[in-house]
Structure 1
């Protein structure tokens, strides 16, 4: 009986001399695909599952066809190596192969066009050779690591710009720095630029930032409709370009304006998937040194610092605009899907919003804070109060909460004027000091956006929206065109960023 025991070895351990393998990578059976990879940056790790559907075990030899010259690398059974021989896969079992890549610059000076890099991962099993294609679409870019801009600079637009935090030593300390615009220097970002920021990266402005500025010739022809895919829009977003990350908040830090920053202007831009869109902060002397930002015809969306695990682990809050004693002016702007605040103003400041839409439904996470939140209290010492001015005109403030407006200590403000706007507010529904006399604003009246779904929202107005036919002329200045560059009805324009046109 003892002599017969070796014959009882399980069949899945017995190596057979026939049979082949099956492969699976994401949604593909014969290809590992890296879609749009910036050169010189290590890609994410892709998983390739190798299945042995046979009853018995098989031995396979695995190798990269490109060998030493390939930009791809693989990890087989936990070891990083270009090849492995006699790898055993038990019957009806599988093997996990991890694939990464680092693409080199292909020398193309221009743009935006991608280039293709391929290799083969070969499996030789029982005399049969099978191939899994490794495919990466490369993208050349300008890379900014601890980049200090000390003189007036205009970024070219022939290639994207990628900002990556890098160590910078100063004063015995080591800091993580992406791009810093020095005091008295100006960074111009012209129409059509694409700015991608790596996890945790920031663009810090101690001087001046001009995006699609009025001094740029013919940034937009006045008669053009600015659609969401318009090539002239300047876009800020994270550098993870896989479809999964297309709408994920908190992938990068944000744009920081410090106390010495001044005359900043952002026009026809999209800022998305960040911890905050714009942070204005003047910690040294918030009354004498106040950063300022003017935004026009721009979209800020998918912003959150909550539960960020890969961009800024220390962040506990985020916002479309977070201002600590700053000055903010926004016209024809859309703020949406901001996880904590669409706009947060702390420690006083000056805030002017005209024809803006705050549509904050945040379907992908829980939100407990009003979209528009203001206080005159200092962030560090609440006993210290500073002057705060808030002018909200011709705008829509709506979202998933009953209270989307919070003006703490509003009787103490230097000025508070909310006129000709549609507001969702339970707390101030009967507070004339905030919302004005009856009829001045539309209170808790559904604006009837066309579509509020997270995947494909449309915050233009339905034909029967109460925001399309205000009962009084607009309050204050009416911009001649809306967010999409369409003409406004100058006498009775629609509320919010979008003019309604049947």
Structure 2
């Protein structure tokens, strides 16, 4: 009998817990608080499988309720696109959406995302299919990206290249979350390769990059030549074809030397080619650029916090020839600190799509940002700007497309000859003046007709007009007897700029 009383008390307590209202476990009570949000195991569900094969691929997404009480997710849904059909599997139910899904407090939910592949050939499919997987909880809408690639490709996701590697041209290459080339390693990109980069993804080179090093055209080529290496964003829909700022760019860090980029197109990036040596150390990054086109470069909405350029150098060296730089939202060439830049037979035609206050070419002793990790960056006089037989022009109507910050300090390091310039600031014969050395200054753009059609959409034509002020004003340079398209230049009186004028 002595055990009977405690047993009765225990049973009574259990019965009270079960029967009394308002005593449900806290995690089973559903909160309607608008501040209740979900957390996710991934911010992007990415399908990088070969999508030209038949089949269904499933990815897992964990959804976490960190709240003490349960939540009711009013809607989980996604919108499928024609190239890839997505479906969800939640609590055993399959479909494109689910409603009123409860997740207990401090618990989680497993969502299976399935992508069903269209077995028809890849031709005509979008390259990138992007959707949002939406979660609506107590009026709060959250989203997880769902990405699929609709063509066969090599995928480089947060990749580190530690041994010398060749990227072949038999399939496109996709950069996702950036690629790093380690010191002492060479990445070679073969003729005709296509490289598509996702938003804010970069190719970062600490070693060496050889882009199209072996291509030797037998004669004149067209801009559509299949042997040209092409970098662009991974959105292949028509509306993204000429939209700036879709991916990061190509960065060369301290010690990266012997880099060669030739017969290449780089477009629609945040930065074009970026030499990063902010503390002015040795060995300096160096890049040689030949027969290259860079266009549609913009740091707007990039999150970088500073203005970008097609060629941006922090204490690095650019040697550039037969190159077109066009339609940048900020600078075309931005060389700071102890940078050294040489431009031969180049055309800078900076007709930006928006309002641009920056000159096309700016040289300065100061970096675009003052410090890194609270360590001030050095202010160093530029080592040199050499411009020969080149055009520096743009859409700033009453301003200058050329600026030397504190230029009097390094005027002896600036040499511009036989070039066409848009500048009022340096329209004189002083130490920084350019009314000398065979330069052509400020011709009337409309009566002089510098270019054939700088406003042609979607892609302007920056070849020289028949009556262009740049015609027959250059001086021959050794080793540069052909133009950007490998057409022969006039051997005695060539044209200024990347293109030799072709008579009809």
Compared CA separation, residues 115 and 338, structure 1 to 2 (3 A): closer
- Other structure's SS at 1:500 match: coil
| CA drift at 1:469 | 2.1
Q: Which of residues 272, 276, 291 is equivalent to 1:277?
A: 272
Match of 1:97 in 2: none
Match of 1:205 in 2: 205
Q: How does 1:321-470 map to 2 (within 5 A)?
A: 321-362=311-352, 364-379=353-368, 380=370, 384-401=379-396, 402-413=399-410, 415-438=413-436, 440-445=438-443, 446=445, 448-453=450-455, 454-470=457-473
Distance 2:205 2:217 in 1: 29
Match of 1:49 in 2: none
Which range is displaced more, 149-158 or 333-342? 149-158
Matching of residue 229 in structure 1 with residue 224 in structure 2 = yes
Match of 1:500 in 2: 501
Distance 1:103 1:353 in 2: 51
Residue 71 of structure 1 contacts residue 101 of structure 1 at CA under 8 Å; is this kept in 2? no
Residue 476 of structure 2 contacts residue 493 of structure 2 at CA under 8 Å; is this kept in 1? no
Compared CA separation, residues 352 and 156, structure 1 to 2 (3 A): same
Match of 1:13 in 2: none
Distance 2:97 2:404 in 1: 65
Unpaired segments ≥5 residues, structure 1: 1-36, 43-65, 86-99, 118-135, 166-177
Q: How does 1:482-501 map to 2 (within 5 A)?
A: 482-501=483-502
Compared CA separation, residues 81 and 428, structure 1 to 2 (3 A): farther
Compared CA separation, residues 486 and 103, structure 1 to 2 (3 A): farther
Match of 1:242 in 2: 237
| CA drift at 1:238 | 0.3
| CA drift at 1:137 | 9.3
Match of 1:257 in 2: 252
Listed one character per residue, the Cα deviations across residues 366-423 of structure 1 (whole Å, up to 9, x for unaligned) are: 1100000011235525873234201001001111113000111222226110000000
Residue 38 of structure 1 contacts residue 103 of structure 1 at CA under 8 Å; is this kept in 2? no
Q: Which of residues 263, 269, 272 is equivalent to 1:268?
A: 263
| CA drift at 1:74 | 6.1
Matching of residue 72 in structure 1 with residue 85 in structure 2 = yes
Distance 2:163 2:458 in 1: 41
For the pair shown, which has the larger CA radius of gyration, 1 or 2? 2
Distance 1:356 1:385 in 2: 26
TM (norm. structure 2) is: 0.69
Which range is displaced more, 328-337 or 385-394? 385-394
Residue 282 of structure 1 contacts residue 289 of structure 1 at CA under 8 Å; is this kept in 2? no
Distance 2:314 2:96 in 1: 56
- Other structure's SS at 2:272 match: strand
Residue 426 of structure 2 contacts residue 434 of structure 2 at CA under 8 Å; is this kept in 1? no
Matching of residue 162 in structure 1 with residue 163 in structure 2 = no
Matching of residue 318 in structure 1 with residue 312 in structure 2 = no
Compared CA separation, residues 83 and 353, structure 1 to 2 (3 A): closer
- Other structure's SS at 1:271 match: strand
Listed one character per residue, the Cα deviations across residues 421-440 of structure 1 (whole Å, up to 9, x for unaligned) are: 00000111124323445462
- Other structure's SS at 1:276 match: coil
Match of 1:125 in 2: none
Listed one character per residue, the Cα deviations across residues 272-316 of structure 1 (whole Å, up to 9, x for unaligned) are: 0000111101134x142310111100100000001x2xxx33444
Listed one character per residue, the Cα deviations across residues 104-140 of structure 1 (whole Å, up to 9, x for unaligned) are: 69799xxx966799xxxxxxxxxxxxxxxxxx99310
Unpaired segments ≥5 residues, structure 2: 1-46, 57-79, 99-112, 128-147, 371-375
Which range is displaced more, 454-463 or 238-247? 454-463
| CA drift at 1:228 | 1.7
Matching of residue 293 in structure 1 with residue 312 in structure 2 = no
Distance 1:202 1:185 in 2: 17
Listed one character per residue, the Cα deviations across residues 459-490 of structure 1 (whole Å, up to 9, x for unaligned) are: 011111121121xx516436111001100112
Compared CA separation, residues 162 and 304, structure 1 to 2 (3 A): same
Q: What RMSD over aligned residues (CA atoms) do the two structures have, in Å? A: 3.2
Compared CA separation, residues 317 and 204, structure 1 to 2 (3 A): same
Compared CA separation, residues 489 and 241, structure 1 to 2 (3 A): same
Which range is displaced more, 269-278 or 423-432? 423-432
Distance 1:389 1:185 in 2: 29
